[in-house]
Amino acid sequence: MQTRRLSIADLAAAPVIGGGDLLGDGAAIASPVVLVDLDTASDVPADGLALAAVRASASDVILVGTSTGPIGDALGPLLEAVDLTYAPSGAGHRAVVGADEVDVAVAAFIDAVSRCPQASLVAAQVVRAAEPLDPVPAIDVESLGYSTLQGGDEFGRWLEERRAKGRPLPPPAVDPVLLDRQGDTLRITLNRPERRNAYGTALRDAFVDALRLAVLDDSIDHVVVDGAGSAFCAGGDLDEFGHMPDASTAHLIRTRGGAGRLVAVLADRVEVRLHGPCVGAGIEIPAFARRVVAAPDTRIRLPEVSMGLIPGAGGTVSVPRRIGRWRALHLFVTGVEIDAAQALDWGLVDEIGS
């Protein structure tokens, strides 16, 4: 996989970024990432910076800004136009991912893209497309992108390796969700601790039914969601992946039968209390809530791109709305784990508490 580096002047002068280089022979993805050297800003007049931002907004590839020093205010529009920027730790702009070693962080991002370039590109496209939309149509966009990737080679390889392990479908669940009504508060507890509260069919359907109670009952002013056992939610149940009857049914279930849409609708009334591993859906759904409290042991990770997919429980909508699409794309593509302190600093959670 080839990676080009452009100066800001080069970016401003290019009518199309990636259009001729993205796809190689047989539609193989040849050059999905282009680096933009932000240290060259001093060589560019204000109108050139503005034009570079316009060019970046129309790019066909993943544009990654890089900087080895402080980033001036004049670069704000360009930071927002590229897909993300790596700069030394301490950069306060929400489009910037701080790194102790910028070159190492950039190399790790490029390496992750090289393993699943299709999923990485679709993730970047979806977070851009969903950004101006209301949550419900944005979830639809996410699911359509997810369905596209389900038919791709990257997910196909992951699924083949998973099926080779010969694991059976999960056993039937007894009380996958517990409900407790106290006055105007409804507590919903994810209750499959033996599977680390994986967001499988049984838990999802019970969770959705519980949320619908709050939609239908205006006397429920406060919904508190937590999880039993060592993990709040370890993400989708991997043993169920690939078992939907068809892609269109799966799309309708994700969008009209998923919990994320309802939490988005109920957001002002919902508080989620995280602890332990919060993987995939285990952070995608909570991020829609008005208030998210993380225990000190909370660990957050979004691994879907490494599986040839994108977040499919609403995460391309909820996570960017909290931390910006730039840092969200960093989490999606690299799959890096962050702790409660980092999540609080970025705004992915609102408080660290018990």
- Name the CATH superfamily for 135-352: 2-enoyl-CoA Hydratase; Chain A, domain 1 (3.90.226.10)
Q: Is residue 130 pLDDT above 80, yes or no?
A: yes
Confidence class of residue 20 from pLDDT cuts 50, 70 and 90? Answer: low
Tokens describing residue 91: 């950069």
Radius of gyration in angstroms for the set of CA atoms belonging to the chain, rounded to a whole number: 21
CA neighbor of 266 nearest in space, from 178, 335, 354, 207: 207
In the three-class reduction of DSSP (H, G, I as helix; E, B as strand; rest coil), residue 44 is classed as coil
Start-to-end Cα distance in the chain: 45
Confidence class of residue 112 from pLDDT cuts 50, 70 and 90? Answer: very high
Please tell me the pTM assigned to this model: 0.95
Q: Is residue 243 pLDDT above 90, yes or no?
A: no
**Residue 137 confidence (pLDDT):** 97
**Residue 51 confidence (pLDDT):** 95
Confidence class of residue 18 from pLDDT cuts 50, 70 and 90? Answer: low
C-alpha dist (Å) from residue 325 to 100, 125, 332, 333: 21, 11, 10, 12
For the chain, give the mean pLDDT.
Answer: 93
**Residue 166 confidence (pLDDT):** 74
DSSP 197-212: T-B-HHHHHHHHHHHH
Confidence class of residue 247 from pLDDT cuts 50, 70 and 90? Answer: confident
More confident residue, 77 or 163: 77
**Residue 19 confidence (pLDDT):** 57
Mean pLDDT, to the nearest integer, of 226-234? 98
Q: What residue type is assigned to position 50 of the chain?
A: A
Buried-exposed string 188-212: b where 16+ CB fall within 10 A, e elsewhere: bbbbbeebbbbbbbbbbbbbbebbe
Mean pLDDT, to the nearest integer, of 171-186? 93
Q: Is residue 220 pLDDT above 70, yes or no?
A: yes
Residue ranges of the domains in the chain?
3-115, 135-352
C-alpha–C-alpha distance, residues 99 and 90, integer Å: 8
Q: Is residue 23 pLDDT above 80, yes or no?
A: no
Confidence class of residue 147 from pLDDT cuts 50, 70 and 90? Answer: very high
Q: Is residue 280 pLDDT above 80, yes or no?
A: yes
CA neighbor of 222 nearest in space, from 261, 259, 180, 186: 186
Mean pLDDT, to the nearest integer, of 256-267? 96
**Residue 162 confidence (pLDDT):** 85
Mean pLDDT, to the nearest integer, of 289-304? 99
**Residue 120 confidence (pLDDT):** 98
Strand order in the sheet with 277-279: 277-279, 299-301, 338-339
**Residue 168 confidence (pLDDT):** 73
Window from 11-25, 76-90, 142-156, 184-198 with minimum mean pLDDT: 11-25
Cα dihedral value 303, 38, 128, 34, nearest 10: -70
C-alpha–C-alpha distance, residues 141 and 8, integer Å: 31
**Residue 242 confidence (pLDDT):** 65
**Residue 2 confidence (pLDDT):** 83
For 297-339, write each residue's pLDDT tens digit. Answer: 999 999 999 999 999 999 999 999 999 999 999 999 999 999 9
Confidence class of residue 72 from pLDDT cuts 50, 70 and 90? Answer: confident
